[in-house]
Every structure is written in structure tokens, then in C-alpha cells.
Amino acid sequence: MKHASLLAASTCMLLSLAAGPAAAQFAKKEDAIKYRQSAFTLMASHFGRMTPVVKGQVPYEPEPIKANVALLRTLATLPWAGFGPGTEGGEAKDDIWLDEDGFKQAQQKLQDKLQALSAAADAGDLDRLRQAFGDVGASCKSCHDSYRQKK
């Protein structure tokens, strides 16, 4: 029950944020860069929390997985507002602004893979979850390879 109320509160807060930033203006490009990097950091955290389960290092418990997937789906709507015109920089390659269609397709691919991950989590099928988890990871990697500068 603790997870459910935490999930509900977090989801409400994140949904209110998701509605606002898309139309928001950032005072400085550094603000947009920090915003998108923060969203990606949270996404990586919630994705990473599922890794030990997927690798079989800890027992599979459906509810925490469902909670992380739900948060991840919400978080995955946030960073794109930080990629507006004039926000170049950070770890983002210029290709984001030169290939807007490709970047939007990568965003949509992530959303599609997250929907499949959500369905797998809801089904409670660990094998299906592992496959969908890998597909989300591959989507992230593909976008990073195309649109993120190497560290």
C-alpha cells in the first residue's frame, strides 16, 4: 500500500509538471539543459532499479516493477521540452536540431517501447518483461548513439 500511495503522489506531481514545461520558456539555455539532464537522470534511476530483477539478481516482485514502469512512462514525457530552439549544448549533439524528424521518431520509439514494457509489467510475465526491458534499453542506446556526445 505504501508503494501505491507514493506512486499516486509522484504520478500526480509529475503529470502536473508534464503539462507545464512543454509550453514553458526557459530563462536561459542552461536552464533547459539542466531540466532535460535532470529528467534523464531520473529516468535512468527508475530504469536502473529494475535491472537486478531482470538479471535475476533479486526476486521478481510485480508491484515495485509496475511502480517503476509507471514513473518511467511519466518521466519519459518530460525531457523533450528542454530541447527547444536555442537550447543547444550540454551533451546533446547538434544533430538534434539538424534532424528534428529523426529525433522525434526516436522519442516516439521510446514511448512505444515503454508502452510494451508497461504491458509486460501488467501481465506479470518475467520473460516478457525481460524482452521489453531490453527493447527499452536498446531504444535509449540508439538515441544516445545518434544524438548524445560521447563522454
Q: Which of 67, 59, 61, 73 is nearest to 113 (CA)?
A: 73
Residue 151 pLDDT > 70, yes or no? Answer: yes
In the block, cell 548524445 appears at 148
Is there a contact between 43 and 75 (Cβ–Cβ < 8 Å)? yes
Report pLDDT for 148: 96
Q: How confident is the model over 70-84, as a mean pLDDT?
A: 96
Q: Report how far residue 34's alpha carbon sits from residue 60's, in angstroms, rounded to the nearest whole number.
A: 34
* Residues of the chain above pLDDT 90, percent: 82
Closest of 75, 87, 89 to residue 41, by C-alpha: 75
Torsion of CA 115, 120, 126, 132, to 10 degrees: -30
CATH number (3.30.70.3450, 3.90.550.10, 1.20.120.10, 3.40.190.10) of 2-147 reads 1.20.120.10
Ordered by start, the domain boundaries in the chain are 2-147
Query: What is the pLDDT at residue 25?
Result: 82
- Dig out the grid coordinates for 126 from the structure: 518475467
Lowest mean pLDDT among 12-16, 28-32, 34-38, 68-72: 12-16
**pLDDT at site 91:** 95
Give the pLDDT confidence score for residue 6 in this predicted structure: 42
**Mean pLDDT on 51-69:** 97
Residues 6+ apart with CB under 8 A from 128: 120
pTM of this structure: 0.82
pLDDT digits (tens, 9 = 90+) for 87-126: 999 999 999 999 999 999 999 999 999 999 999 999 999 9
In angstroms, rounded to a whole number, what is the distance separating the alpha carbons of residues 116 and 35? Answer: 26
C-alpha cell at 122: 501488467
